[in-house]
A and B are shown apart, each in its own frame.
Chain A
Amino acid sequence: MRSSLILCTATRFLLPIILMFSFFILLRGHNEPGGGFIGGLVAASAFALYAISHGVTYAQQLLKVNPINLIASGLIIALSSGLFAVFNGSNFMQGYWSEFKFPVIGKIGTPLIFDIGVYFLVLGIALLIIFSLAEEEEEIQ
């Protein structure tokens, strides 16, 4: 897929910024608009943009991990955040929060870990769909 030079150059700088922004959206989601779903989608669109401008193969190299692994680890993170409570003797998915307040993020708790799982999973599925579709188009061309 051929793209304009401007788009190519711009995305190279945009990608890290969008990724950072997506992570910011994820972390602040508990108190302000945002969260795992939105963060994951934003991150996915960053990679999608890269795939359009540079081609899927480069985008995949940049991602380094297979999107399927992202989906799996996302599910595992989300699930284990709930299991934490089970090992502590209360109900599955009962929330736990740290007493200590971290700078920028604030308190860390299991719901936040759950949200991180959602983030990776949503990122994974969006990229898996887009990559496998785009890969196919490239092969045909």
Chain B
Amino acid sequence: MNLLFAVMIGVLYGAGFYLILRRSFVKVLIGLILLAHGANLLILTVGRLTKGNPVFVNSGTDATAFADPLPQALILTAIVIGFGIQAFALVLFKRAYKTAKTDDLDEMRNTDLSS
């Protein structure tokens, strides 16, 4: 299953990186979301994959068999913060698009507006 996760993480990272290298802002945004997914899976994998044994301590299993709770706590906040960042980036982009009238990041190089 490590192999399976390695493939998924590799694909998500590769796709994410490709997209944030684009000039179109929407693509950059989607790339960021894909990268966030990849990072979440990476944290989960690094904390070791455990199947079907979530950490609820009254289930009486031996401690070593449980999944590691710490990466999960990290990912949980990462997901929610990721949402905040997505929303912020989306709105920032909308605003920039309205002001600069372009979607092309290369055209947005200057802080001063041409108008």
Chain A positions within 8 Å of B, measured between CB atoms, are: 31-33, 37, 41, 122, 125-126, 129, 133
Are B56 and A31 neighbours in the complex by a CB distance under 8 Å? yes
Min CB–CB distance A19 → chain B (angstroms): 19
A133 and B88 CA atoms in complex are apart in Å by 11
Which A residues are CB-close (under 8 A) to B84?
125, 129
For the complex of A and B, list the 8 residue pairs with the smallest distance between their C-beta atoms, beginning with the closest. A129-B87, A37-B80, A37-B76, A125-B84, A122-B80, A32-B56, A133-B91, A31-B56
Min CB–CB distance A74 → chain B (angstroms): 13
Nearest A residue to B83 via CB reads: A126
Main secondary structure of the interface of B (DSSP, over half): helix
Min CB–CB distance A140 → chain B (angstroms): 11
A126 and B56 CA atoms in complex are apart in Å by 29
A101 and B56 CA atoms in complex are apart in Å by 20
Which A residues are CB-close (under 8 A) to B56?
31-32
Min CB–CB distance A99 → chain B (angstroms): 21
A31 and B54 CA atoms in complex are apart in Å by 12
Chain B positions within 8 Å of A, measured between CB atoms, are: 54, 56, 58, 76-77, 80, 83-84, 87, 91
Min CB–CB distance B67 → chain A (angstroms): 13
Nearest B residue to A38 via CB reads: B76
Min CB–CB distance A1 → chain B (angstroms): 18
Nearest A residue to B84 via CB reads: A125
Min CB–CB distance B101 → chain A (angstroms): 16
Nearest B residue to A118 via CB reads: B80
The contact sample of 10 A-B pairs, CB cut-off 8 A, is A31-B56, A32-B56, A33-B54, A37-B77, A37-B80, A125-B84, A126-B83, A129-B87, A129-B91, A133-B91
| Sample of 9 further A-B pairs with CB below 8 A, known A32-B56, A41-B80, A129-B91 | A31-B56, A31-B58, A33-B54, A37-B76, A122-B80, A125-B84, A129-B84, A129-B87, A133-B91
Which B residues are CB-close (under 8 A) to A37?
76-77, 80
Which A residues are CB-close (under 8 A) to B76?
37
Min CB–CB distance B73 → chain A (angstroms): 10
Among B54, B56, B76, B80, the most chain A Cβ lie within 10 Å of the Cβ of: B80
